[in-house]
Protein backbone atom coordinates (compact mmCIF):
# COMPACT_ATOMS: atom_id res chain seq x y z
CA UNK A 1 0.00 0.00 0.00
CA UNK A 2 1.47 3.33 -1.06
CA UNK A 3 1.00 6.51 0.90
CA UNK A 4 0.55 8.55 -2.26
CA UNK A 5 -2.31 6.31 -3.40
CA UNK A 6 -4.24 7.00 -0.19
CA UNK A 7 -3.54 10.74 -0.23
CA UNK A 8 -4.81 11.02 -3.81
CA UNK A 9 -7.84 8.79 -3.13
CA UNK A 10 -8.81 10.97 -0.16
CA UNK A 11 -8.56 14.09 -2.30
CA UNK A 12 -5.84 15.57 -0.09
CA UNK A 13 -3.32 16.01 -2.92
CA UNK A 14 -3.29 15.68 -6.70
CA UNK A 15 -1.29 13.44 -8.99
CA UNK A 16 0.72 16.52 -10.03
CA UNK A 17 1.56 17.21 -6.38
CA UNK A 18 2.82 13.64 -6.02
CA UNK A 19 4.90 13.87 -9.21
CA UNK A 20 6.52 17.15 -8.11
CA UNK A 21 7.33 15.72 -4.66
CA UNK A 22 8.89 12.64 -6.27
CA UNK A 23 11.10 14.82 -8.48
CA UNK A 24 12.22 16.73 -5.42
CA UNK A 25 12.81 13.49 -3.55
CA UNK A 26 15.20 12.28 -6.25
CA UNK A 27 17.31 15.39 -5.71
CA UNK A 28 17.31 15.86 -1.95
CA UNK A 29 15.83 12.66 -0.52
CA UNK A 30 13.42 12.67 2.39
CA UNK A 31 9.97 11.23 2.98
CA UNK A 32 7.10 11.90 0.63
CA UNK A 33 4.75 13.19 3.31
CA UNK A 34 7.35 15.62 4.68
CA UNK A 35 8.08 16.97 1.19
CA UNK A 36 4.36 17.52 0.49
CA UNK A 37 3.98 19.36 3.80
CA UNK A 38 7.04 21.52 3.10
CA UNK A 39 5.60 22.42 -0.31
CA UNK A 40 2.33 23.49 1.28
CA UNK A 41 0.38 20.76 -0.51
CA UNK A 42 -0.53 18.75 2.59
CA UNK A 43 -1.43 19.66 6.13
CA UNK A 44 0.52 17.90 8.92
CA UNK A 45 -2.76 17.05 10.67
CA UNK A 46 -4.09 15.35 7.53
CA UNK A 47 -0.95 13.23 7.18
CA UNK A 48 -1.10 12.32 10.85
CA UNK A 49 -4.77 11.33 10.51
CA UNK A 50 -3.95 9.04 7.55
CA UNK A 51 -1.16 7.35 9.49
CA UNK A 52 -3.33 6.92 12.59
CA UNK A 53 -6.27 5.55 10.59
CA UNK A 54 -4.19 2.73 9.10
CA UNK A 55 -4.46 -0.52 11.12
CA UNK A 56 -1.51 -0.93 13.47
CA UNK A 57 0.50 -4.11 12.90
CA UNK A 58 0.99 -6.61 15.72
CA UNK A 59 4.32 -6.32 17.52
CA UNK A 60 4.07 -9.67 19.32
CA UNK A 61 2.39 -13.02 18.87
CA UNK A 62 -0.20 -11.97 21.44
CA UNK A 63 -0.98 -8.82 19.46
CA UNK A 64 -2.19 -10.89 16.49
CA UNK A 65 -5.15 -12.01 18.57
CA UNK A 66 -4.46 -15.61 17.51
CA UNK A 67 -3.25 -18.55 19.55
CA UNK A 68 0.28 -19.76 18.88
CA UNK A 69 -1.15 -23.07 17.68
CA UNK A 70 -3.21 -21.26 15.04
CA UNK A 71 -0.17 -19.29 13.91
CA UNK A 72 1.88 -22.48 13.69
CA UNK A 73 -0.87 -24.04 11.58
CA UNK A 74 -0.83 -21.08 9.19
CA UNK A 75 2.96 -20.94 8.97
CA UNK A 76 3.44 -24.66 8.39
CA UNK A 77 0.66 -24.71 5.78
CA UNK A 78 2.41 -21.83 4.00
CA UNK A 79 5.61 -23.87 3.93
CA UNK A 80 3.89 -27.14 3.00
CA UNK A 81 1.35 -25.92 0.43
CA UNK A 82 2.78 -22.59 -0.76
CA UNK A 83 6.46 -23.56 -0.80
CA UNK A 84 7.62 -20.77 1.54
CA UNK A 85 11.17 -21.50 2.74
CA UNK A 86 12.28 -18.30 4.50
CA UNK A 87 10.88 -16.22 7.30
CA UNK A 88 10.18 -13.34 4.92
CA UNK A 89 8.39 -15.67 2.47
CA UNK A 90 6.16 -16.97 5.24
CA UNK A 91 5.59 -13.38 6.43
CA UNK A 92 4.54 -12.35 2.90
CA UNK A 93 2.04 -15.21 2.77
CA UNK A 94 0.61 -14.52 6.22
CA UNK A 95 0.85 -10.69 5.83
CA UNK A 96 2.45 -10.47 9.26
CA UNK A 97 5.61 -8.58 10.34
CA UNK A 98 8.84 -10.51 9.94
CA UNK A 99 9.64 -10.19 13.63
CA UNK A 100 6.34 -11.86 14.61
CA UNK A 101 6.78 -14.66 12.07
CA UNK A 102 10.33 -15.16 13.31
CA UNK A 103 8.92 -15.83 16.78
CA UNK A 104 6.54 -18.41 15.26
CA UNK A 105 9.38 -20.06 13.32
CA UNK A 106 11.45 -20.18 16.51
CA UNK A 107 8.57 -22.02 18.18
CA UNK A 108 8.47 -24.43 15.24
CA UNK A 109 12.21 -25.08 15.59
CA UNK A 110 11.86 -25.69 19.33
CA UNK A 111 9.13 -28.23 18.62
CA UNK A 112 11.27 -29.93 15.93
CA UNK A 113 8.75 -29.04 13.23
CA UNK A 114 11.28 -27.31 10.93
CA UNK A 115 14.97 -27.61 10.29
CA UNK A 116 17.56 -25.29 8.79
CA UNK A 117 18.61 -26.03 5.22
CA UNK A 118 21.16 -23.25 4.90
CA UNK A 119 21.40 -19.67 3.67
CA UNK A 120 19.06 -18.40 0.95
CA UNK A 121 21.94 -16.55 -0.76
CA UNK A 122 25.69 -15.94 -0.70
CA UNK A 123 25.60 -12.66 1.24
CA UNK A 124 26.38 -12.45 4.93
CA UNK A 125 22.91 -10.96 5.55
CA UNK A 126 21.15 -13.75 3.66
CA UNK A 127 18.16 -15.37 5.33
CA UNK A 128 18.09 -18.92 6.52
CA UNK A 129 16.09 -21.43 4.53
CA UNK A 130 13.85 -23.85 6.40
CA UNK A 131 12.23 -27.16 5.56
CA UNK A 132 9.57 -29.15 7.35
CA UNK A 133 10.69 -32.18 9.29
CA UNK A 134 8.64 -35.35 9.11
CA UNK A 135 6.93 -34.25 12.30
CA UNK A 136 6.33 -30.84 10.71
CA UNK A 137 4.81 -32.43 7.58
CA UNK A 138 2.45 -34.44 9.74
CA UNK A 139 1.50 -31.26 11.62
CA UNK A 140 0.87 -29.40 8.33
CA UNK A 141 -1.20 -32.28 6.96
CA UNK A 142 -3.30 -32.31 10.10
CA UNK A 143 -3.74 -28.52 9.88
CA UNK A 144 -4.88 -28.86 6.25
CA UNK A 145 -7.38 -31.52 7.27
CA UNK A 146 -8.90 -29.00 9.70
CA UNK A 147 -9.18 -26.44 6.90
CA UNK A 148 -7.38 -25.88 3.63
CA UNK A 149 -7.05 -22.14 4.01
CA UNK A 150 -3.57 -20.89 3.08
CA UNK A 151 -3.04 -17.15 3.01
CA UNK A 152 -3.10 -13.98 5.12
CA UNK A 153 -3.63 -14.54 8.82
CA UNK A 154 -7.17 -13.69 9.96
CA UNK A 155 -7.93 -10.75 12.20
CA UNK A 156 -9.89 -11.37 15.41
CA UNK A 157 -13.65 -10.79 15.35
CA UNK A 158 -13.37 -8.05 17.97
CA UNK A 159 -10.83 -6.17 15.87
CA UNK A 160 -13.04 -6.44 12.78
CA UNK A 161 -16.02 -5.11 14.71
CA UNK A 162 -13.98 -2.18 15.97
CA UNK A 163 -12.78 -1.36 12.45
CA UNK A 164 -16.37 -1.39 11.06
CA UNK A 165 -17.45 1.05 13.77
CA UNK A 166 -14.41 3.23 13.20
CA UNK A 167 -14.98 3.70 9.47
CA UNK A 168 -18.76 4.16 9.48
CA UNK A 169 -20.22 5.47 6.26
CA UNK A 170 -21.92 8.29 8.19
CA UNK A 171 -18.50 9.62 9.17
CA UNK A 172 -18.29 11.08 5.66
CA UNK A 173 -20.36 14.18 4.95
CA UNK A 174 -21.90 14.41 1.49
CA UNK A 175 -22.64 17.97 0.35
CA UNK A 176 -24.10 19.51 -2.79
CA UNK A 177 -20.72 19.78 -4.49
CA UNK A 178 -20.10 16.05 -3.98
CA UNK A 179 -23.50 15.17 -5.45
CA UNK A 180 -22.96 17.55 -8.37
CA UNK A 181 -19.60 15.94 -9.16
CA UNK A 182 -20.95 12.38 -8.92
CA UNK A 183 -23.99 13.17 -11.09
CA UNK A 184 -22.13 15.34 -13.60
CA UNK A 185 -23.12 13.04 -16.47
CA UNK A 186 -26.79 12.85 -15.49
CA UNK A 187 -29.69 15.28 -15.62
CA UNK A 188 -31.27 15.46 -12.16
CA UNK A 189 -33.67 18.00 -10.70
CA UNK A 190 -33.08 20.22 -7.68
CA UNK A 191 -36.00 18.53 -5.93
CA UNK A 192 -34.34 15.14 -6.33
CA UNK A 193 -31.02 16.50 -5.00
CA UNK A 194 -32.78 17.85 -1.91
CA UNK A 195 -34.29 14.39 -1.30
CA UNK A 196 -31.14 12.44 -2.06
CA UNK A 197 -28.63 14.44 0.01
CA UNK A 198 -30.22 13.82 3.43
CA UNK A 199 -30.89 10.17 2.54
CA UNK A 200 -27.23 9.52 1.74
CA UNK A 201 -26.00 11.32 4.85
CA UNK A 202 -28.37 9.32 7.06
CA UNK A 203 -26.67 6.04 6.12
CA UNK A 204 -30.10 4.38 6.21
CA UNK A 205 -31.94 2.46 3.52
CA UNK A 206 -33.27 4.10 0.35
CA UNK A 207 -36.01 2.94 -2.01
CA UNK A 208 -35.70 4.14 -5.62
CA UNK A 209 -38.87 3.42 -7.59
CA UNK A 210 -40.39 4.42 -10.89
CA UNK A 211 -40.97 3.24 -14.46
CA UNK A 212 -38.14 1.36 -16.18
CA UNK A 213 -35.50 3.16 -18.20
CA UNK A 214 -35.18 6.33 -16.13
CA UNK A 215 -31.83 5.66 -14.46
CA UNK A 216 -32.53 4.09 -11.07
CA UNK A 217 -29.51 1.80 -11.38
CA UNK A 218 -27.42 4.72 -12.66
CA UNK A 219 -28.48 6.76 -9.63
CA UNK A 220 -27.35 3.95 -7.33
CA UNK A 221 -23.98 3.77 -9.15
CA UNK A 222 -23.52 7.52 -8.83
CA UNK A 223 -24.20 7.27 -5.10
CA UNK A 224 -21.36 4.76 -4.95
CA UNK A 225 -19.03 7.27 -6.61
CA UNK A 226 -19.78 10.05 -4.12
CA UNK A 227 -17.72 8.73 -1.23
CA UNK A 228 -13.99 9.50 -1.04
CA UNK A 229 -12.91 7.89 2.23
CA UNK A 230 -10.55 4.94 2.23
CA UNK A 231 -11.73 1.91 4.21
CA UNK A 232 -9.75 -1.12 5.33
CA UNK A 233 -11.09 -4.57 4.45
CA UNK A 234 -9.62 -7.68 6.12
CA UNK A 235 -8.57 -10.61 3.99
CA UNK A 236 -10.44 -12.73 6.54
CA UNK A 237 -11.45 -12.84 10.18
CA UNK A 238 -11.63 -15.58 12.78
CA UNK A 239 -14.54 -16.71 14.97
CA UNK A 240 -14.28 -19.65 17.35
CA UNK A 241 -11.42 -21.11 15.32
CA UNK A 242 -13.36 -20.73 12.04
CA UNK A 243 -11.97 -18.61 9.16
CA UNK A 244 -14.30 -16.33 7.19
CA UNK A 245 -12.98 -14.72 4.00
CA UNK A 246 -14.07 -11.13 3.35
CA UNK A 247 -11.78 -9.44 0.83
CA UNK A 248 -12.94 -10.26 -2.68
CA UNK A 249 -11.03 -8.87 -5.71
CA UNK A 250 -14.25 -9.27 -7.68
CA UNK A 251 -16.15 -6.68 -5.64
CA UNK A 252 -13.55 -4.70 -3.68
CA UNK A 253 -11.44 -1.98 -5.29
CA UNK A 254 -8.00 -1.64 -3.68
CA UNK A 255 -6.49 1.83 -3.84
CA UNK A 256 -4.68 1.84 -7.23
CA UNK A 257 -1.15 0.59 -6.90
CA UNK A 258 0.04 2.76 -9.78
CA UNK A 259 -1.85 5.88 -8.77
CA UNK A 260 1.33 7.61 -7.73
CA UNK A 261 3.58 6.61 -10.58
CA UNK A 262 5.21 9.60 -12.19
CA UNK A 263 7.20 10.27 -15.30
CA UNK A 264 10.48 8.43 -15.51
CA UNK A 265 9.09 5.38 -13.76
CA UNK A 266 9.20 6.90 -10.26
CA UNK A 267 6.97 5.24 -7.69
CA UNK A 268 5.37 6.64 -4.59
CA UNK A 269 6.97 5.16 -1.47
CA UNK A 270 4.88 2.71 0.46
CA UNK A 271 3.83 3.13 4.03
CA UNK A 272 6.55 1.47 6.04
CA UNK A 273 5.68 -2.15 6.82
CA UNK A 274 6.05 -1.46 10.52
CA UNK A 275 3.37 1.24 10.20
CA UNK A 276 0.63 -0.89 8.65
CA UNK A 277 -1.04 -4.21 9.37
CA UNK A 278 -0.92 -5.96 5.99
CA UNK A 279 -3.80 -8.27 6.93
CA UNK A 280 -6.02 -5.37 5.84
CA UNK A 281 -6.48 -3.99 2.30
CA UNK A 282 -6.97 -0.25 1.75
CA UNK A 283 -10.00 0.04 -0.55
CA UNK A 284 -12.60 2.44 -1.84
CA UNK A 285 -15.91 2.11 -0.05
CA UNK A 286 -17.50 -1.04 -1.53
CA UNK A 287 -20.32 -0.79 -4.06
CA UNK A 288 -22.03 -4.15 -4.53
CA UNK A 289 -25.11 -4.93 -6.62
CA UNK A 290 -27.36 -7.98 -6.30
CA UNK A 291 -30.23 -8.46 -8.74
CA UNK A 292 -32.95 -11.00 -9.36
CA UNK A 293 -30.58 -13.83 -8.43
CA UNK A 294 -30.59 -12.82 -4.75
CA UNK A 295 -31.87 -15.48 -2.35
CA UNK A 296 -32.05 -15.70 1.43
CA UNK A 297 -29.25 -18.28 1.39
CA UNK A 298 -26.96 -15.69 -0.20
CA UNK A 299 -27.36 -13.56 2.94
CA UNK A 300 -25.84 -16.27 5.15
CA UNK A 301 -22.29 -17.49 5.56
CA UNK A 302 -21.22 -19.88 2.81
CA UNK A 303 -19.33 -22.87 4.19
CA UNK A 304 -17.19 -24.89 1.82
CA UNK A 305 -17.35 -28.48 3.12
CA UNK A 306 -14.22 -29.44 1.21
CA UNK A 307 -12.00 -26.48 2.04
CA UNK A 308 -13.64 -26.14 5.48
CA UNK A 309 -13.70 -22.38 5.71
CA UNK A 310 -16.32 -19.71 4.99
CA UNK A 311 -16.99 -17.04 2.40
CA UNK A 312 -18.70 -13.94 3.76
CA UNK A 313 -22.10 -13.07 2.22
CA UNK A 314 -22.41 -10.09 -0.13
CA UNK A 315 -23.86 -7.71 2.46
CA UNK A 316 -20.91 -8.38 4.79
CA UNK A 317 -18.50 -7.66 1.94
CA UNK A 318 -20.42 -4.39 1.44
CA UNK A 319 -19.91 -3.22 5.05
CA UNK A 320 -18.76 0.39 5.09
CA UNK A 321 -20.15 0.94 1.60
CA UNK A 322 -23.28 0.59 -0.54
CA UNK A 323 -25.32 -2.56 -1.10
CA UNK A 324 -27.80 -2.18 -3.96
CA UNK A 325 -30.65 -4.63 -4.48
CA UNK A 326 -31.58 -4.08 -8.10
CA UNK A 327 -34.95 -5.06 -9.52
CA UNK A 328 -36.33 -5.36 -5.98
CA UNK A 329 -39.50 -7.42 -5.97
CA UNK A 330 -38.35 -9.65 -8.85
CA UNK A 331 -36.20 -11.95 -6.70
CA UNK A 332 -37.07 -15.58 -6.10
CA UNK A 333 -37.62 -14.57 -2.48
CA UNK A 334 -40.53 -12.24 -1.71
CA UNK A 335 -39.89 -8.64 -0.57
CA UNK A 336 -41.54 -9.48 2.76
CA UNK A 337 -39.21 -12.44 3.34
CA UNK A 338 -36.17 -10.37 2.45
CA UNK A 339 -37.19 -7.55 4.80
CA UNK A 340 -38.00 -10.08 7.52
CA UNK A 341 -34.38 -11.25 7.26
CA UNK A 342 -33.22 -7.65 7.61
CA UNK A 343 -35.63 -6.22 10.17
CA UNK A 344 -32.97 -6.28 12.90
CA UNK A 345 -30.05 -5.13 10.70
CA UNK A 346 -32.04 -2.23 9.20
CA UNK A 347 -33.47 -1.01 12.49
CA UNK A 348 -30.83 -1.89 15.10
CA UNK A 349 -27.81 -1.69 12.79
CA UNK A 350 -26.51 -5.10 13.85
CA UNK A 351 -26.55 -8.42 11.98
CA UNK A 352 -26.38 -11.95 13.37
CA UNK A 353 -24.68 -14.77 11.49
CA UNK A 354 -24.45 -18.46 12.38
CA UNK A 355 -21.60 -20.92 11.89
CA UNK A 356 -22.30 -24.52 10.89
CA UNK A 357 -21.22 -25.46 14.42
CA UNK A 358 -24.29 -23.65 15.75
CA UNK A 359 -22.30 -20.73 17.15
CA UNK A 360 -23.80 -17.29 16.38
CA UNK A 361 -21.99 -13.97 16.35
CA UNK A 362 -22.86 -10.37 15.52
CA UNK A 363 -21.40 -7.70 13.27
CA UNK A 364 -22.28 -4.01 13.04
CA UNK A 365 -24.58 -3.50 10.04
CA UNK A 366 -23.04 -0.34 8.68
CA UNK A 367 -23.86 0.15 5.02
CA UNK A 368 -26.17 2.15 2.82
CA UNK A 369 -28.79 -0.25 1.44
CA UNK A 370 -30.40 0.92 -1.81
CA UNK A 371 -33.50 -0.87 -3.10
CA UNK A 372 -34.25 -0.22 -6.78
CA UNK A 373 -37.56 -1.31 -8.33
CA UNK A 374 -39.88 -0.76 -11.29
CA UNK A 375 -42.86 -1.54 -9.06
CA UNK A 376 -44.78 0.97 -6.99
CA UNK A 377 -44.25 0.84 -3.21
CA UNK A 378 -47.85 -0.38 -2.73
CA UNK A 379 -47.21 -3.29 -5.11
CA UNK A 380 -44.11 -4.30 -3.18
CA UNK A 381 -45.28 -4.65 0.40
CA UNK A 382 -47.70 -3.45 3.04
CA UNK A 383 -47.08 -0.21 4.98
CA UNK A 384 -45.73 -2.07 8.02
CA UNK A 385 -42.79 -3.31 5.97
CA UNK A 386 -42.48 -0.18 3.89
CA UNK A 387 -41.91 2.03 6.91
CA UNK A 388 -38.68 0.14 7.59
CA UNK A 389 -37.24 1.87 4.55
CA UNK A 390 -37.13 5.51 5.70
CA UNK A 391 -36.28 7.17 2.37
CA UNK A 392 -38.45 6.61 -0.70
CA UNK A 393 -37.71 8.51 -3.92
CA UNK A 394 -39.46 8.29 -7.24
CA UNK A 395 -37.16 8.33 -10.25
CA UNK A 396 -39.72 9.60 -12.73
CA UNK A 397 -39.49 10.17 -16.45
CA UNK A 398 -37.86 13.40 -17.64
CA UNK A 399 -39.72 16.61 -18.32
CA UNK A 400 -39.71 17.82 -21.92
CA UNK A 401 -36.82 20.19 -21.13
CA UNK A 402 -34.83 17.42 -19.42
CA UNK A 403 -35.53 15.15 -22.39
CA UNK A 404 -34.13 17.85 -24.69
CA UNK A 405 -30.97 18.15 -22.58
CA UNK A 406 -30.46 14.37 -22.59
CA UNK A 407 -31.08 14.14 -26.34
CA UNK A 408 -28.63 16.97 -27.10
CA UNK A 409 -25.99 15.48 -24.80
CA UNK A 410 -26.19 12.00 -26.31
CA UNK A 411 -26.25 13.42 -29.85
CA UNK A 412 -23.10 15.46 -29.22
CA UNK A 413 -21.30 12.46 -27.73
CA UNK A 414 -22.15 10.44 -30.87
CA UNK A 415 -21.09 13.18 -33.30
CA UNK A 416 -24.64 14.03 -34.40
CA UNK A 417 -26.21 17.46 -34.72
CA UNK A 418 -29.62 17.65 -33.11
CA UNK A 419 -32.07 20.53 -33.21
CA UNK A 420 -35.27 21.60 -31.53
CA UNK A 421 -37.07 20.56 -34.71
CA UNK A 422 -35.66 17.02 -34.52
CA UNK A 423 -36.41 16.70 -30.80
CA UNK A 424 -39.91 18.08 -31.32
CA UNK A 425 -40.54 15.50 -34.03
CA UNK A 426 -39.30 12.71 -31.72
CA UNK A 427 -41.54 13.83 -28.85
CA UNK A 428 -44.56 14.11 -31.16
CA UNK A 429 -43.91 10.64 -32.57
CA UNK A 430 -43.64 9.19 -29.07
CA UNK A 431 -46.93 10.74 -28.07
CA UNK A 432 -48.57 9.37 -31.20
CA UNK A 433 -47.18 5.94 -30.35
CA UNK A 434 -50.02 5.10 -27.98
CA UNK A 435 -49.22 8.05 -25.73
CA UNK A 436 -45.79 6.63 -24.75
CA UNK A 437 -44.30 8.50 -21.78
CA UNK A 438 -40.91 10.17 -22.10
CA UNK A 439 -38.11 8.10 -20.54
CA UNK A 440 -34.45 8.83 -19.97
CA UNK A 441 -33.27 5.81 -21.96
CA UNK A 442 -35.10 6.79 -25.15
CA UNK A 443 -32.62 9.36 -26.57
CA UNK A 444 -29.73 6.88 -26.51
CA UNK A 445 -31.93 4.10 -27.87
CA UNK A 446 -33.16 6.23 -30.78
CA UNK A 447 -29.77 7.76 -31.59
CA UNK A 448 -27.98 4.39 -31.56
CA UNK A 449 -30.59 3.00 -33.96
CA UNK A 450 -30.30 6.00 -36.26
CA UNK A 451 -26.52 5.54 -36.38
CA UNK A 452 -26.89 1.82 -37.15
CA UNK A 453 -29.31 2.63 -39.98
CA UNK A 454 -26.93 5.24 -41.41
CA UNK A 455 -24.13 2.70 -41.35
CA UNK A 456 -26.32 0.22 -43.21
CA UNK A 457 -27.36 2.81 -45.80
CA UNK A 458 -23.73 3.90 -46.14
CA UNK A 459 -24.57 7.55 -45.55
CA UNK A 460 -23.03 10.13 -43.18
CA UNK A 461 -24.55 10.04 -39.67
CA UNK A 462 -27.56 12.34 -39.59
CA UNK A 463 -31.15 12.50 -38.42
CA UNK A 464 -33.70 11.67 -41.08
CA UNK A 465 -37.45 11.37 -40.62
CA UNK A 466 -37.71 7.80 -41.89
CA UNK A 467 -34.77 6.61 -39.78
CA UNK A 468 -36.22 8.25 -36.67
CA UNK A 469 -39.56 6.57 -37.39
CA UNK A 470 -37.90 3.14 -37.64
CA UNK A 471 -36.06 3.71 -34.36
CA UNK A 472 -39.17 4.82 -32.52
CA UNK A 473 -41.07 1.85 -33.90
CA UNK A 474 -38.52 -0.43 -32.20
CA UNK A 475 -39.23 1.08 -28.79
CA UNK A 476 -42.26 -1.18 -28.40
CA UNK A 477 -43.16 -4.52 -29.94
CA UNK A 478 -46.78 -3.39 -29.95
CA UNK A 479 -45.94 -0.64 -32.39
CA UNK A 480 -43.00 -2.12 -34.30
CA UNK A 481 -43.46 -1.89 -38.10
CA UNK A 482 -44.26 -5.17 -39.85
CA UNK A 483 -41.68 -4.70 -42.59
CA UNK A 484 -41.24 -7.39 -45.21
CA UNK A 485 -43.43 -9.99 -43.57
CA UNK A 486 -45.24 -10.94 -46.78
CA UNK A 487 -42.04 -11.02 -48.81
CA UNK A 488 -40.38 -13.18 -46.18
CA UNK A 489 -43.26 -15.65 -46.27
CA UNK A 490 -43.20 -15.74 -50.03
CA UNK A 491 -39.44 -16.31 -50.14
CA UNK A 492 -39.72 -19.29 -47.86
CA UNK A 493 -42.26 -21.05 -50.10
Q: Do residues 465 and 420 share a domain?
A: yes
Instruction: Report the CATH number at residue 125.
Output: 1.10.10.10
Instruction: Report the CATH number at residue 163.
Output: 3.40.50.300
Has residue 71 been placed in a domain? yes
pLDDT of residue 433: 72
- Strands 206-209 and 391-394 come out as parallel
Q: Do residues 189 and 224 share a domain?
A: yes
- Domain final residue, candidates 353, 370, 394: 394
- Give the separation between CA 232 and CA 58, rounded to whole angstroms: 16
- Give the separation between CA 225 and CA 286, rounded to whole angstroms: 10
Has residue 340 been placed in a domain? yes
3-44 pLDDT, tens digit each: 777 787 777 888 888 888 888 888 877 777 788 888 887 888
Q: What is the DSSP letter of 272?
A: P
pLDDT of residue 271: 45
Has residue 270 been placed in a domain? no
Has residue 486 been placed in a domain? no
Number of domains in the chain: 4
pLDDT of residue 432: 80
pLDDT of residue 89: 95
pLDDT of residue 487: 39
Q: Do residues 280 and 352 share a domain?
A: yes
Q: Do residues 140 and 195 share a domain?
A: no
- Give the separation between CA 98 and CA 114, rounded to whole angstroms: 17
pLDDT of residue 341: 87
Cα Rg of the chain, angstroms:
29
pLDDT of residue 489: 38
Has residue 478 been placed in a domain? no
The stretches in the chain having pLDDT less than 70 are: 1, 120-126, 256-274, 434-435, 477-493
Let me know: does 185 contact 371? Beta carbons within 8 Å. Answer: no
pLDDT of residue 12: 81
Nearest CA to 119 out of 86, 156, 76 is that of 86
Q: Do residues 468 and 328 share a domain?
A: no
Q: Do residues 176 and 324 share a domain?
A: yes
pLDDT of residue 267: 41
Q: Do residues 324 and 301 share a domain?
A: yes
pLDDT of residue 145: 95
pLDDT of residue 29: 77
Has residue 269 been placed in a domain? no
Task: Please provide the average confidence, as pLDDT, over all residues in the chain.
Answer: 86
- Domain final residue, candidates 394, 414, 432: 394
Contacts 24+ apart (CB under 8 A), 304-310: 306/148, 307/147, 307/148, 307/149, 308/146, 308/147, 308/148, 308/149, 309/147, 309/148, 309/149, 309/236, 309/242, 309/243, 309/244, 309/245, 310/242, 310/243, 310/244, 310/245, 310/355
| pTM of the predicted protein model | 0.83
Is the four-CA dihedral 35, 41, 47, 48 of positive or negative sign? positive
Q: Do residues 195 and 49 share a domain?
A: no
pLDDT of residue 486: 40
Has residue 405 been placed in a domain? yes
Q: Do residues 196 and 93 share a domain?
A: no
pLDDT of residue 121: 61
pLDDT of residue 70: 96
Q: Do residues 199 and 136 share a domain?
A: no
The boundaries of the domain holding residue 39 are 3-53
pLDDT of residue 382: 78
Let me know: does 318 contact 364? Beta carbons within 8 Å. Answer: no
Has residue 483 been placed in a domain? no
Q: Do residues 97 and 246 share a domain?
A: no
- Domain final residue, candidates 127, 152, 177: 152
Q: Do residues 8 and 38 share a domain?
A: yes
Amino acid sequence: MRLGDILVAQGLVTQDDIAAALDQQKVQGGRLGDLLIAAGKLKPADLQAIMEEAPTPPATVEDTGLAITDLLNLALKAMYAAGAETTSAVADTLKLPNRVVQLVVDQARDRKLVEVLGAAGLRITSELRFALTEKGKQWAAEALSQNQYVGPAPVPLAEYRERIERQRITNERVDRDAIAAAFADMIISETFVRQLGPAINSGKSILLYGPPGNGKTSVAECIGNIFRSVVYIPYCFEVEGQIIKVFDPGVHQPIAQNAGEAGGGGRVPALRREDFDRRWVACKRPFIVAGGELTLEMLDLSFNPLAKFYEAPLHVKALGGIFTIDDFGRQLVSPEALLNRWIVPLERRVDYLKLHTGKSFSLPFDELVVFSTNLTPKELMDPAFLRRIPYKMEVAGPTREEFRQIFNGVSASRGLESSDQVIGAVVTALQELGGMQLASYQPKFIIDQVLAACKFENIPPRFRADLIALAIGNLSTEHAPAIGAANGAQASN
